[in-house]
């Protein structure tokens, strides 16, 4: 049986994932564009930075976030003076989720941009279209299915983020207790196996729903593109 704390954890996870995606989506698009168009040396450095959250242990990433964005950290101290608190606050959970899901968001976006034929951009350049016009009128519309897939993957990953989140913001009921943390706590409490299973089913349903929504939107973009062709 799901209790009030579990419902609050589900709602908070959806809120955290949505904010994380909103924060990272513009950065992910720019990173994907740079990786698909940049020079080799810069591309390698950027790809290393983007991939780092995937290869580091999530707990290590969470600890680094705590060191940097905690109240005593170099960035966290400046933010605290401005009234912005991240450590042990739900906004910190959104930051941790954004950092951990960023690589998964960038990859499909990059692949979609790399699949665009160079002749398309060259033709627009020949016609005198400036870089921003080519980016917003050509690159983004043509890469739209990949952008949608990246956003949905990022949302699903943010929804399931655990290690970095619990290290950075803890598991405070009503404040930082997210769905994955609630599942973990239920598995560690004797007699709460049914609750853990129910929460796992909720998590799986949300992830499947996100993937199905991504597929439907991607197909809609493809049909629209074919109709214009």
The predicted-structure confidence for 40-68, as pLDDT tens digits, reads as follows: 667 888 888 899 998 999 999 999 999 99
Q: What is the DSSP letter of 162?
A: -
d(CA 223, CA 2): 41
pLDDT digits 0-9 by tens, 152-204: 889 989 999 999 999 999 888 888 999 999 999 999 888 888 889 999 999 98
Which domain range does residue 83 map to? 4-228
CATH number at residue 196: 1.10.3720.10
pTM comes to 0.86
**Nearest one of 109, 145, 79, 101 to 13, comparing CA atoms:** 101
Residue pointed to by tokens 């960023």: 102
Q: Residue 39 pLDDT > 70, yes or no?
A: no
| Cα–Cα–Cα angle for 62, 77, 166, rounded to 5 degrees | 20
- Could you give the CA distance from residue 92 to residue 69 in angstroms, rounded to a whole number? 8
What length does the chain have? 229
At 20 the pLDDT is: 95
Q: What percent of the chain has pLDDT over 70?
A: 94
Taking the CA atoms of residue 30, residue 34, residue 35 and residue 37 in that order, the dihedral angle to the nearest 10 degrees is 130
Q: How many domains does the chain have?
A: 1
Contact 210, 163 (CB under 8 A): no
């Amino acid at each position: 049986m799901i209790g009030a704390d579990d419902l609050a954890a589900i709602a908070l996870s959806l809120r955290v994932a949505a904010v994380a995606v909103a924060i990272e989506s513009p950065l992910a698009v720019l990173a994907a564009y740079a990786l698909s168009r940049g020079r080799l040396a810069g591309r390698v450095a950027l790809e290393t930075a983007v991939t780092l959250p995937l290869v580091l242990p999530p707990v290590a990433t969470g600890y680094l976030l705590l060191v940097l964005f905690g109240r005593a950290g170099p960035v966290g101290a400046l933010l605290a003076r401005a009234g912005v608190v991240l450590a042990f606050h739900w906004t910190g959970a959104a930051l941790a989720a954004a950092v951990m899901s960023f690589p998964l968001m960038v990859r499909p976006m990059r692949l979609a941009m790399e699949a665009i034929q160079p002749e398309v951009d060259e033709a627009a350049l020949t016609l005198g279209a400036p870089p921003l016009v080519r980016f917003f009128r050509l690159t983004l519309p043509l890469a739209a299915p990949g952008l949608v897939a990246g956003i949905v993957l990022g949302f699903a990953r943010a929804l399931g983020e655990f290690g970095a989140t619990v290290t950075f913001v803890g598991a405070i009921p009503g404040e930082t207790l997210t769905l994955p943390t609630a599942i973990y706590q239920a598995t560690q409490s004797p007699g709460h196996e049914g609750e853990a299973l129910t929460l796992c089913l909720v998590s799986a349903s949300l992830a499947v729903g996100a993937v199905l929504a991504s597929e439907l939107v991607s197909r809609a973009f493809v049909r629209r593109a074919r109709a214009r062709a």
